[in-house]
Amino acid sequence: MIVQLARMVLLTAGALGGFAVSRLADWSSQTGLSPQLVIFILIILGASMGYLLGSIMGREFTGQYERIVQQLQDFDTTDLLLGALGLVVGLVVAFLVSNPLRLVRPAWLGFLTMVLVYGLLSYGSTQLFLTKRRDMRRHLGDALSKAALPQSESLKFLDTSAVIDGRFQQLVESGFLEGRIVVPRFVLVELQTLADSADDLRRSRGRRGLDLLTTLSAGPDAVQVFEADYPEIPAVDAKLVRLATSSSGVIVTVDHNLTQVARVEGAKVLNVNELASAVRPLFIPGDTIRILVAKPGKEAGQGVGYLEDGTMVVIADGKDAVGSDRTVEVTSVLQTSAGRMIFAKVAT
């Protein structure tokens, strides 16, 4: 568009220039051509030169425009706001300071001094504001997060591990996970990075999370994408903690380390694994369980079975019962970081 506009403007200017040149001298007597032919030739030459010059300038302007747009897109929004604010403050101060300089004589010296004052104060004020952009960005980002989030509803921020795990969907449908379920943009970007990974396991986990979010993008329990980011914080988990603390939201995760860090930082966390452990049936020594002995255990004579919630039951002398249902008696319960493990023996 810029190229065509430049061609049209300079073509018209060249044609008018050719016509003006034809009036500057008696070209007919010098060339032996008729006045009409001279005018026509000069107009064509001027229009041609304008067209060529317009093509060159149009392409240059287009390239410069695209580079400026790309640079603006690469700039952080907070930096642009701070730079603009610093420029305005610098111009205002320069205007106030430069008023007495109008009295400087000779006039050209006063003008040059004013230009210098405007340039220095504008540049200095802009740089001053940008040197504090990290602190300003943090405070401004927190303020925008609070302003953008409805304070009347509880917000649940899904992290990458919770999206891939997928159990939050059942919690929402059953009513145990209330409020608005959102996925921050930086978590979505991390999922996309996993889905594009060269590692098969990471790629399948990332695609599983994206597929689940796609299926939950509509309906009353739809998961929404929240536009939030903290460019000065490189780690996704740290960004999530900052977002939760600044918006009084709750992090939903299955990551034990994130849970501990978030609680130290003062953020609210709902760990799905902790919830699952809390609602598992409690067994004490002496209780009996009817269970399928699924496979032999690691130790001699042991059998292994699993409850419906995935809890492992290690059965002493249960190897001969592999593949059949048996009533077993609980002897002890061990709580580990990976979950609960039950030790039992075949009931007599």
pLDDT digits (tens, 9 = 90+) for 21-33: 777 777 667 777 7
Same domain for 115 and 163, yes or no, is no
Judged against a pLDDT cut of 60, whether residue 285 lies above it is answered with yes
Same domain for 121 and 201, yes or no, is no
Report in angstroms the alpha-carbon separations of 147 from 136, 167, 229, 262: 16, 30, 15, 22
Give the pLDDT confidence of 132-172 residue by residue, as tens digits. Answer: 655 655 555 555 455 444 444 578 888 888 888 888 878 88
Under the banding of pLDDT at 50, 70 and 90, the label for residue 314 is very high
pLDDT recorded at residue 303: 92
Each residue of 157-185: b (16+ CB within 10 Å) or e?
bbbbbbbbbbebbebbeeeebeebbbbbe
DSSP state of 249: -
CA–CA separation, 17 and 41 (whole Å): 12
Express as a percent the part of the chain with pLDDT over 70: 86
Same domain for 96 and 192, yes or no, is no
Q: Given the DSSP bridges, would you call strands 224-226 and 180-184 parallel, antiparallel or unpaired?
A: parallel
Same domain for 302 and 227, yes or no, is no
CA–centroid distance for 312 within its chain: 40
Each residue of 8-45: b (16+ CB within 10 Å) or e?
eebbebbbebbeebbeeeebeeeeeeeeeebbeebbee
Give the pLDDT confidence of 90-142 residue by residue, as tens digits. Answer: 888 888 877 777 776 777 777 788 888 888 888 888 777 767 655 655 555 55
Answer whether 160's CB lies under 8 Å from 193's CB: no
In a domain, 194, yes or no: yes
CA–CA separation, 191 and 212 (whole Å): 11
Q: Give how many domains the chain has, as a whole number.
A: 4
Residue that finishes a domain, picked among 131, 162, 197 = 131
Q: Given the DSSP bridges, would you call strands 325-336 and 339-346 parallel, antiparallel or unpaired?
A: antiparallel
In a domain, 143, yes or no: no
In a domain, 197, yes or no: yes
Give the pLDDT confidence of 52-70 residue by residue, as tens digits. Answer: 887 888 788 787 777 777 7
In a domain, 66, yes or no: yes
| Long-range pairs of 261-267 with CB within 8 A, sequence gap ≥ 24 | 261/237, 265/241, 267/241
In a domain, 337, yes or no: yes
Same domain for 169 and 210, yes or no, is yes
What residues make up the domain containing 86?
77-131
In a domain, 112, yes or no: yes
Within 10 angstroms of residue 305's Cβ, the number of other Cβ atoms is: 25
Same domain for 212 and 171, yes or no, is yes
Q: Given the DSSP bridges, would you call strands 250-253 and 268-271 parallel, antiparallel or unpaired?
A: parallel
Mean pLDDT taken over the chain: 80
Q: What is the pTM of this model?
A: 0.45
The residue with greater pLDDT, 241 or 220, is 241
Average the pLDDT over 33-61 and give the result: 82
pLDDT recorded at residue 134: 56
CA–CA separation, 342 and 336 (whole Å): 11
3-state helix, strand, coil in the chain (%, to 5): 60, 15, 25
Same domain for 196 and 182, yes or no, is yes
Same domain for 251 and 304, yes or no, is no
Query: At 314, which amino acid appears?
Result: V
Beta-carbon contacts of 131 under 8 Å, excluding residues fewer than 6 positions away, are: none
Beta-carbon contacts of 324 under 8 Å, excluding residues fewer than 6 positions away, are: 292, 293
